Amino acid sequence: MTEELQNTIENTPSKIVHGVKTGGIVGGVMVVISLLLYIVNPSTFAASWLNLSLLVLSFGIVIYFGLQFRKLVGGYLSFGDAFVHGFISFLIAGFMGTLFNILLFNVIDPDLARLIMDTTIDNTIALFEKLGMTGSQIDETVEKMEKDMIDGFKPLGAIKNYLIVSIFYVIAALISGAIVKKKKPEEKF
């Protein structure tokens, strides 16, 4: 192996290392946004638009850094490598978010979980009433929903949710991988 090729190989960033860095950046951004929302208006955590907005932002950042990684490795990236980069990025960001939520809801402000649950349940009841559900149907649904939410704010529930959401990370990584990949053109002799 030539010295130039050896230097190129040694200086080419790994998809795993770059994915971890990207996940750290995405996770850090999500934690800072969550912290700011908590400081400004904690009830915002119950808003359905918030999770969708954070999801879109995370997805955009992962794709952006995936494209940057593709440039770093020479402008071409297989679907498999793009998928691995995206999946690791989502896993790390999700793990950071899970740790932050465990701290926020169990150490920093344990009462926040009740505020979010009450707001979410009130919004759900209003929606169910608009849909014409009966009182008994609403009560049954809300009772199960409340138990699931209480469990989800506890550390073990948060970890369980993280593992379940990892299925979504696979899907998100498949999509981001399809966007980021770029095949090398076939060489012509």
Q: Across all residues in the chain, what is the average pLDDT? A: 89
What's this model's pTM, rounded to 2 decimal places? 0.84
* Residue 72 within a domain: yes
* Residue 58 within a domain: yes
Which structural domain, as residue segments, surrounds residue 123?
A: 13-180
Any long-range contacts for 99-103 (C-beta under 8 Å, 24+ apart)?
100/30, 100/31, 100/34, 100/35, 101/34, 101/153, 101/158, 102/155, 102/158, 102/159
* Residue 4 within a domain: no
Residues of the chain with pLDDT under 50: 5-9
Element (H, E) at 136: helix 135-153
* Residue 162 within a domain: yes
pLDDT at 2: 56
* Residue 185 within a domain: no
* Residue 6 within a domain: no
How many domains in the chain? 1
Tens-digit pLDDT profile for residues 95-127: 999 999 999 999 999 999 989 888 888 888 888
* Residue 5 within a domain: no
* Residue 1 within a domain: no
